[in-house]
Amino acid sequence: MVKLNKIYTRTGDDGTTGLGTGERRMKSDLRVEAYGTVDEANSCIGLARLHTAAEHPVLDTILGRIQNDLFDLGADLATPDDGKPLGYEPLRIVASQTKRLETDIDTLNANLQPLRSFVLPGGSPASAALHLARTVARRAERLMVALVQIEDEHVNPEGIRYINRASDLLFVAARVVNDNGKFDVLWVPGQNR
């Protein structure tokens, strides 16, 4: 149970933060950067939802669910599985969360025309905001993959699958809010040569 009575603790004034394991890490640590970027993607989705709530209630419900899952992912990343007992069961992203994203992608993608080119971010405010969220989610994914490459660092593989699928969903959602792709701005290779 999360309980936040006091917002400032002064414990981070030395440039460190606490992980779910109790270990302190520098705020510039790659793990902290990864879960901070997941938080940033979550904030971008919150901004996008300002444009989806009224006109796209089904999509808005999906985005709200993803926001909650991204907090789960942040908790997962903030509590590395190093094999040491914690005294509690840490929150982990599970396969059913990723599968739900795949189902949502298939549902949203059903009415979209196949693409003839890459899509430039834009078309509508909602689409631009969703593309921003997508690119931040991709950055979080890159950081998570980089973290896995470090010896003695552990990242839940399902968390990597989840963030990969979440960015895919955000791409499809950006097309949906562009009138199912009718207002997509397509890339024209070499157009301005």
Tell me, what CATH number does 149's domain have?
Answer: 1.20.1200.10
The total number of structural domains that make up the chain: 1
193 is a domain residue: no
**What is the spatial distance between Cα 114 and Cα 136, in angstroms, rounded to a whole number?**
24
115 is a domain residue: yes
14 is a domain residue: no
- For residue 157, give its domain range: 25-180
Residue 22 has pLDDT above 90, yes or no: no
Dihedrals phi, psi of 139, to nearest 5 degrees: -65, -40
What's the whole-number mean pLDDT along residues 117-136? 96
89 is a domain residue: yes
User: Cα angle at 188 between 186 and 193, to 5 degrees?
Assistant: 150
Q: How confident is the model at residue 9 (pLDDT cuts 50, 70, 90)?
A: confident
189 is a domain residue: no
19 is a domain residue: no
Encode pLDDT of 80-119 as tens digits: 988 888 889 999 999 999 999 999 999 999 999 888 899 9
17 is a domain residue: no
Give the residue with greater pLDDT, 5 vs 39. Answer: 39
Q: How confident is the model at residue 187 (pLDDT cuts 50, 70, 90)?
A: very high
| pLDDT score, position 2 | 62
20 is a domain residue: no
Encode pLDDT of 152-184 as tens digits: 999 999 999 999 999 999 999 999 999 999 999
Can you spell out the DSSP letters for 98-127?
A: HHHHHHHHHHHHTTPPPPSSPEES-SSHHH
Residue 131 has pLDDT above 90, yes or no: yes
